Chain A
Amino acid sequence: MQFDSFASFLDMGGYAFYVWLSFGASAALILLLIFSTLFSHKNARANIARQVKREQRLQQAQAQANVSESTSQ
């Protein structure tokens, strides 16, 4: 261990601002990348699923229309 106390660890030998700025900004950017990646994957799946459902509904409606048309004749 290079530091005697938690306070001296936070102080980083006087370079606290620069060291924590670097680590903080990097962590923020990486977390942003990870979450936006997961979010856009979910989003892409949901979008396609919605489209599939819409088409299925359309098909059903069309089939029903056909059925009612054929029974009315």
Chain B
Amino acid sequence: MWKWLHPYANPEVSYHFAGKLKPWLGLSSALLLTVGLIWALLFAPADYQQGESFRIFYIHVPSAILSMSIYLAMAIAALSSLVWQVRLADASAAALAPIGAVFTAIALLTGAAWGKPMWGTWWVWDARLTSELILLFLYLGVIALHNAFDDKQMAGKAAGILALVGVINLPIIKYSVEWWNTLHQGPTVSKLGAPAMASEMYWPFVLCFFGFALLVGAVACVRFQTEIITRNKMRPWVRNLVTSEVN
């Protein structure tokens, strides 16, 4: 496996690989999100209790799931950077943190705007909401540490340790609704077996979820490229690359 992985651990190869990947990810994300969001806003049926406010679901749930998946990916990258000293893993962890922070913020904001009319409050200090807020602080801490050091390797180490410590928060978020008496309800779509909703409500969710996930991939590719060239700015291939006009 290491032999097979070896060429991808080369910054130049990875840079061009990410460059090849990003238009495909971007295009398919734009396509899925256009269809998914139009479906969600115009054609999906309203909920019998929540009415049209149910449409917030189509942003809230995908971004909440992604906020946790991105953190997991970032933590795995941080671990491989700390243990096996894969320099590129560090670059990808740094690339993922701001994306995760944005999706966590979206999950929190849309949750508040949904909670106000339905529950009767913008915010409550219950386990689910609080642990998701901590996730946002973890992301901000990781971003701050990545920027705190001029030496990118030191920065990666500090941020990586924080990212790994923060992993404990992920099961807390996921199981908070079962372990504590929270105002937030249990999961609708991540249950094994059938989702707790009708199929005409479920399909637009699937499209929106993969649309957002592919968007994360596309943005991650560009940020990964940025991280690679700033970390390798003394290398001849980077110098040739930036002085030529091609991407």
- List chain A positions with a Cβ less than 8 A from chain B: 1-3, 9, 12-15, 18-19, 21-23, 25-26, 29-30, 32-34, 37-38, 40-41, 44-46, 48-49, 51-53
Known: A18-B56, A37-B219. A30 touches B102 (CB 8 A): yes
Q: How far is the CA of A22 from the CA of B226 in the complex (A)?
A: 30
A33 touches which one: B41, B52, B102, B243 (CB < 8 A)?
B102
B: contact size bracket: 35 or more
Residues on the A chain within 8 Å of B128, using CB: none
Asked if B42 contacts A22 (CB within 8 A), the reply is no
- The CA-CA distance from A52 to B222 in the complex, in Å, is 22
Q: Of the 9-residue stretches B75-83, B111-119, B148-156, which lies at the interface with chain A? A: B111-119
CB–CB B99/A33 < 8 A: yes
Residue numbers in A under 8 Å from B59 (CB-CB): 22-23, 26
B51 touches which of A14, A22, A38 (Cβ 8 Å): A14
Known pairs A15-B117, A45-B229, A51-B233; list 7 more (Cβ under 8 Å).
A15-B52, A18-B116, A19-B56, A22-B109, A32-B102, A38-B222, A48-B242
Chain B residues in 8 Å Cβ range of A3 = 42
- Cβ A48 vs Cβ B222 within 8 A: no
Chain B residues close to A by CB (< 8 Å): 41-46, 51-53, 55-56, 59-60, 63, 98-99, 102, 105-106, 109-110, 113-114, 116-117, 215, 219, 222-223, 225-226, 229-230, 233, 238-239, 241-243
Chain A residue at minimal CB-CB distance from B106? A26
Judging by beta carbons under 8 Å apart, are A52 and B63 in contact?
no
Given A30-B106, A37-B223, A44-B226, do A19 and B242 touch, yes or no (CB 8 Å)?
Answer: no
Shortest distance from the beta carbon of B219 to any chain A beta carbon, whole Å: 5
Taking CB atoms, residues of chain B closer than 8 Å to A1 are: 42-43
A41 to B238, CA, bound (A): 13
Q: Give the distance in Å from the alpha carbon of A17 to the alpha carbon of B98 in the complex.
A: 28
User: Can you pick out 16 interface pairs between chain A and chain B where the beta carbons lie within 8 Å of each other?
Assistant: A2-B42, A15-B51, A18-B117, A22-B56, A23-B41, A29-B105, A30-B102, A30-B215, A33-B99, A37-B222, A40-B223, A41-B222, A41-B225, A45-B241, A48-B239, A51-B233
Cα distance A40–B41 when bound, in Å?
Answer: 33
| Contact yes or no, A12 B102, CB < 8 A | no
Q: Sorted from nearest, which 3 A-B pairs have the closest CB atoms?
A: A13-B52, A15-B53, A22-B110
Cβ contacts under 8 Å, B46 to chain A: 2, 13
